Amino acid sequence: AQSVTQPDIHITVSEGASLELRCNYSYGATPYLFWYVQSPGQGLQLLLKYFSGDTLVQGIKGFEAEFKRSQSSFNLRKPSVHWSDAAEYFCAVGGSWGKLQFGAGTQVVVTP
């Protein structure tokens, strides 16, 4: 069975500081991995995805994520956070077809 764990429910970060959000997954084959962001009152928007190839993937809004098969992780990073990055972030895992399994989400608060 596939599963996704986001260990941090809530993270507070200062504007301009770096951000790392953790994601661990369990999947029986090569996973398709995603990070989505949800702003208040909005649907989810895709930040980036990993299917194969280079394990460091670049996304929108200056985000990147690194796939580490040995650690079953797909952590999301941003070098310098902006106030507009305050949102909830979801990691998701799935196969080449069918349904995605979403993590519980990490709420990011950005302080001045």
Partner 1 sequence: DAGVIQSPRHEVTEMGQEVTLRCKPISGHDYLFWYRQTMMRGLELLIYFNNNVPIDDSGMPEDRFSAKMPNASFSTLKIQPSEPRDSAVYFCASSPRTARNEKLFFGSGTQLSVL
Q: Which residues bind partner 1 (CB under 8 A)?
A: 32, 34, 36, 41-46, 49, 51, 90, 94-100, 102-105
CB of 102 to partner 1, least distance (A): 4
CB of 80 to partner 1, least distance (A): 26
Cα–Cα distance between 3 and 76 in angstroms, integer? 17
Q: Cβ closer to partner 1: 37 or 81?
A: 37
Q: Cβ closer to partner 1: 62 or 95?
A: 95
